[in-house]
Structure 1
Amino acid sequence: MIDSAKIELRNLRLKDYQQLKISMIKSYKTMADEYWSKAEIKTLINKFPDGQFCIEIDGKIAGCALSIIVDYDKFDANHKYEDIIGGENFSTHTKIGDVLYGIDVFIHPDYRGMRLGRRLYEARKELCEQLNLKAIIFGGRIPNYAGYAEELTPKKYIDKVKLKEIHDPVLSFQLSNDFHVKKVIKGYLPGDEDSMEFATLMEWNNIYYTKEKKLIDTKKTVVRLGLVQWQMRLFKDYDSLVSQIEFFVDAVSDYQSDFILFPELFNAPLMAQFNHMNEAEAIRGLSSYTDRLLETFREFAMNYNINIITGSMPQVVGEHMHNVGFLCRRDGSYEKYEKLHITPAEESAWGMKGGNILETYDTDCGKIGVLICYDVEFPELPRLLAEEGMNILFVPFMTDTQNGYSRVKICAQSRAVENECYVAIAGSVGNLPKVNNMDIQYAQSAVFTPSDFAFPVNGIKAEATPNTESTLLVDVDLDLLKELHAFGSVRNMKDRRKDLYSLKRKN
């Protein structure tokens, strides 16, 4: 029986799911159909395995505590549960956050009274200290409040629970475990009738927290973007192209920019040496420079203390030609992104295939996304990135006519409004008469904003002079996005009718 049972506290594993599901259904008596799906548990374990705890007793999951790490400054004090967990993808989880946010704790009814909840809370506190996080925060239900709602306000109810004049199975337990009430939130968990949709925002402060001294501010709210409107010209060799790249990196970094964005296929001038080949062979010849350019960009990112979005370059992936680029962070790390939608011309002339990478990227200036040219014309992609917390979308592009440019511009502006984010686009100008399929270029690089009172009335933060080689330096305020999400005249992200439609990734 339970008296002789072996109790093991450990990290949750995906193979525990069936037992976990049974425990959840038993625990959520009034919300039996609200248990976590296997896909959601898998995502949590993949993103933050150390933050998912369970207690196993004789092969059964008796209790569980789930959590993520968030950058708490990004959220309004009256946040809703769904907003702070980031939906089913837990998009708000970030390794560079400062708060361990508890998203669920439950104990199977058969094992209550064994102080298992205390063990789970202690495990969270230990993890918080190990990761040097500032605090543990979560929204707590007050399930007995419905019985007192006619006579007591939430504040008076909480005061009476603190004085032990009223017992609340959740709040009383949390208070006894050194958590304090930070504030009361209305509408935190819609449908929680027992709590009358009120919740207590609970906090436990890590007294051992030490704010790390960093050369680069990881909490920047005003971010400076540098966009390169690149002039297509013939270079005598690879080193001459690199010199031009370094010129722009040097110039933009002198203004303490946080990012520099290069256009799509900016290195096309190097194709001139392959002009004796057909177009498909020439693009493969150009791809031979991609690995060298990646290392060059990584070196420049560190040397000039700037995050570089490298535009795009051809790369052979398996047997196919892809259009790829790289985020080279100033700490030396990098990520690859790919063009997902290939234009008819790219497919017919070069035999290019679409890639499969669609991700947001953590940077010292928050989460960003990168989509190459044609991809911004597909609204599903930026929406998926926005659901994962993207603040800035970078779009390197290459268009030959003003018609093509207008498609990119109009769609980029729409994406800024739809997803309540900034969108930066950068393209090439000029011509390459000796390079097949790269004859002319048209571009006007720009930074677009949402359309509300805190932003420009036309949704355009800044634009470069059309068809002229130049740089564009623009400051964007991330706090304005936070205010827009909570208090905007319209709230596109929050007001979606999820009861009618949803957008999901395919595995």
Structure 2
Amino acid sequence: MHETIKKIELRNLQIDDYKELKNSMMEAYSELENSYWKEHHIEKLLAIFPEGQLVVLVDGKVVGSALSLIIDYRKVIANHTYAQITGNYSFDTHNPQGEVLYGIDVFIHPKYRGLRLGRRLYDARKELCEQLNLKSIIFAGRIPNYIDYKEELSPKQYIEKVKQKELYDPVLSFQISNDFHVKKIMKNYLVGDTSSNEYAVLMEWNNIYYDENPNLINLKKSVIRLGLIQWQMRPLNNLEQLFEQAEFFIDVVSGYGSDFALFPELFTAPLMADYNHLSEADAIRELAKHSEPIRKRFQEYAISYNINIITGSMPYMENGILYNVGFLCKRDGTSEMYTKIHITPNESLHWGMKGGSQIKTFDTDCGKIGIMICYDVEFPELSRLMADEGMNILFVPFLTDTQNGYTRVKHCAQSRAIENECYVAIAGCVGNLPKVNNMDIQYAQSAVFTPSDFAFPSNGIKAEATPNTEMTLIVDVDLDLLKQLHEFGTVRILKDRRHDLYNIKKLK
């Protein structure tokens, strides 16, 4: 486990970052002598191509970087050395009219490896390549483990074994896993790189959106991918088993490039089996003791899997009062709590839960979202207030024991999507827990609902999971379609309200 991380940030490099950049680079390349860029090198890069220089920060400290140039394709595919491609470290080879984003350096401080920060830098490079309408990303990668095999394997044989996963190379294996393919092998690329025997592998990632004659490049991301987790209630021996199952699903949905992972309401309930000898009220208060450790672990998952996680909900004690809360764990390392506003009669009677008092929306790297827990979606005023604040996606973790309860959640969620011109994603638990009082059966069919107009499915259902089956649901939603709906829809619900007759406002 890494020490507690409060915030991760990926941004463009600034000259004020130089001291921390140098220190992290020296740690990353400790086996190479004088392995850091001088300050005048960084100043030059920032002068000629500032958007191509990226850094990743952990709690305000620079722990990694990706540096790039734009270079002519014909120069890149010809045999070259590191000194030649960088203009003998003058960077005079940079050509804003070139076709290739050439990576001249990527590193992560050893202390912060294992958090997939390098993957973030590569993803940012790919986005930049697309935004600048460049043909591809190319670089010459080291093969630092080749030194252990140079007597028995040629570079070509070594590369093939790494590609077949018979051998592992910390650089080449990483590049291959990031969709780069081998173009050629080059000798004498980097003087002094003895671990690679001075070989380098020229690798390329192709931009499938490249247009040789572009008319317009859309720089703003509009399609957001949602990963819904329909969670199977099953006996769990301990908290680590819950983490193991949760991480499996987070890994799955992040592997498909999801921007959000949504867990159901009270999916942690299996842990109450240990307290089934207590009253329902006492048992759920014991379960509440796990909530803060769960938040911390899910925040680590959000960072390492580069995904925003909505943790469903769990019991939470504050000043002696029991609430039903969840956490939005963002991939930048921050988190925010949301609270169920409306408590069901069952929650009040058996558990003594109280409702929260804060109605809010959340800013994310995919726009503004809202989160409401189960019963809250049956009160239309809440989502209307969120829509007035600019919400585009409403997430509803729920838990219903019968099909009647699910029907209420489903149809109210569909109504919220139509009346607020937004997407609504719902995720629930399935299965049963015979050894947990008041939580014995569940019914769910997770889904994503849309407004009802020509740009959307005619029934307002983007996708649905199989009822009562553990599974994930991966769904893309297009925010640009919402913008068009607001302005040019067949009906314009948000714009056509009669504010001269009625209005809704928060009292707090």
- Name the CA shift for 1:291/1:464 in 2 (closer, same or farther; >3 Å): same
Structure-2 residue corresponding to 1:374: 375
CA offset at residue 219 of structure 1? 4.0
Q: Secondary structure at 1:424's aligned position in 2?
A: strand
Match of 1:355 in 2: 356
Aligned to 1:291: 292
Q: 1:215 to 1:436 in 2, by over 3 A?
A: farther
Match of 1:432, as an amino acid?
L
What residue in structure 1 maps to residue 262 of structure 2?
A: 261
Residues of 1 paired with 2:277 and 2:358: CA distance?
33
Contact 1:216/1:364 (8 A) holds in 2: no
- Which residue does 2:313 correspond to in 1? 312
The residue type paired with residue 439 of structure 1 is D
1:469 matched to 2:470? The reply is yes
Which amino acid is the alignment partner of residue 272 of structure 2?
M
Secondary structure of 2:241 counterpart = helix
Aligned-pair CA distance for 1:362: 0.6
Cα displacement string for residues 124-144 of structure 1 (whole angstroms, at most 9, x for unaligned residues) = xxxxxxxxxxxxxxxxxxxxx
The answer to whether the 8 Å contact 1:219/1:364 transfers is no
* Number of the residue aligned with 2:230: 229
CA distance in 2, matches of 1:238, 1:433: 19
Please give the per-residue CA displacement for 1:34-84, whole angstroms capped at 9, x wherever unaligned. xxxxxxxxxxxxxxxxxxxxxxxxxxxxxxxxxxxxxxxxxxxxxxxxxxx
For normalisation by structure 1, the TM-score amounts to 0.58
In structure 1, the partner of 2:447 is 446
Q: Which residue of 1 aligns with 2:416?
A: 415
In structure 1, the partner of 2:425 is 424
CA distance in 2, matches of 1:214, 1:246: 24
* Counterpart residue number, 1:437: 438
- Rounded to whole Å, the distance in 2 between the matches of 1:424 and 1:287 is 26
Identity, % of aligned pairs?
69
The residue type paired with residue 310 of structure 2 is I
> How many angstroms does 1:418 deviate by?
0.2
Q: Equivalents in 1 of 2:377, 2:223: separation in Å?
A: 24
| TM score, norm. by length of structure 2 | 0.57
Which residue number corresponds to residue 365 of structure 1?
366
Give the CA deviation at 1:471.
0.2
1:357 is displaced (CA, Å) by 2.1
Amino acid at match of 2:371: V
- Separation in 1, partners of 2:444, 2:236: 21
- SS of 1:476's equivalent? strand
- 1:371 Cα deviation after fit: 0.1
Cα displacement (A) at 1:220 = 2.2
Instruction: For 2:320 and 2:268, locate their aligned partners in 1 and report how far apart those are by CA, in whole Å.
Output: 22
2:303 is matched with 302
Counterpart for residue 79 of structure 1: none
- Where 1:289 maps in the other structure, the secondary structure is helix
User: C-alpha distance in 2, partners of 1:501/1:250?
Assistant: 46
* Aligned counterparts, 1:120-269, within 5 A: 219-269=220-270
CA distance in 2, matches of 1:352, 1:414: 27
2:496 maps to 1:495: yes
Relative distance call for 1:314 and 1:420 in structure 2 (3 A) is same
Distance 1:216 1:291 in 2: 36
Q: Partner of 1:406 in structure 2?
A: 407
Q: CA deviation at 1:359?
A: 0.8
Which stretches in structure 2 are left out of the alignment for 5+ residues? 1-10, 12-122, 128-218
Runs of 4+ in 1 over 2 A off after TM superposition: 213-220
Residues 331-374 of structure 1 show CA distances to partners (whole Å, capped at 9, x for unaligned) of 10111000000000000000000011211111110000000000
Query: Which residue type is aligned with residue 435 of structure 1?
Result: V
In 2, the alpha carbon distance for the partners of 1:292 and 1:306 equals 19
Paired amino acid for 1:487? F
TM-fit CA distance, 1:317: 1.4
CA RMSD, 1 decimal: 1.6
Alignment partners' CA distance in 1, 2:322 and 2:443: 25
Opposite residue 353 of structure 1, the aligned amino acid is: K
User: How far did residue 216 of structure 1 move?
Assistant: 9.9
What SS does the corresponding residue of 1:358 show, helix, strand or coil? coil
Letter in 2 for 1:383: R
Q: Quick check: 1:220–1:364 contact (8 Å CA) kept in 2?
A: no
The whole-number CA distance in structure 2 between the counterparts of 1:464 and 1:453 is: 23
Which letter maps to 2:277?
Answer: H
TM superposition shift of 1:488: 0.1
SS of residue paired to 2:337: strand
| Aligned-partner Cα distance in 1 for 2:263–2:449 | 17
* Unmatched runs of 5 consecutive residues or more in structure 1: 1-95, 97-212
